[in-house]
Amino acid sequence: MGIFGGLSTPLGEKVDKTVIAKGTRVTGVIHTDILLMIDGEMEGEVHSSSNVSISVNGAYRGKISAKHITVSGRMEGDIRCERLEILKNGVVNGEAVVRELTVEPGGRFFGQSSEAKPAESGA
């Protein structure tokens, strides 16, 4: 799959997304209003009014602000979001300013977290 694509919903509708595929390394700044899926490696900044997902194969280093961030892979840096979910096998190392933080068994968080006010959450 290329860097841009769409997911089909159960009703057959397309949901726009951007994918950084496994085996791909990106450095830079991304501004997006659609789902960003990181299956490869990225270093830089992400500013999203939507959701960001770092897959089990994905790795991210830098600053990230989004509505909802899900981590199954590795993430290091500064996080600003409404909801941060660290799933089984997910590792987050850094500072998180969030409204809601969930860590599943097997997930790990190293660093500091604080509660965001609605304007700070990045969404």
Question: pLDDT for 59-72, tens place per residue?
Answer: 999 999 999 999 99
What pLDDT does 16 receive? 86
Average pLDDT, the chain: 88
pTM exceeding the 0.85 threshold for the entire prediction: no
Residues 6+ apart with CB under 8 A from 65: 46, 47, 48, 79, 80, 81, 122, 123
**In this structure, what token pair is assigned to residue 69?**
């961030």
Residue 121 has pLDDT above 90, yes or no: no
What pLDDT does 122 receive? 54
Residue 92 has pLDDT above 60, yes or no: yes
* Arithmetic mean of pLDDT, 60-88: 97
Angle CA 114–34–55, to nearest 5: 65
Residue 115 has pLDDT above 70, yes or no: yes
Q: Label residue 86 by pLDDT band (50, 70, 90).
A: very high
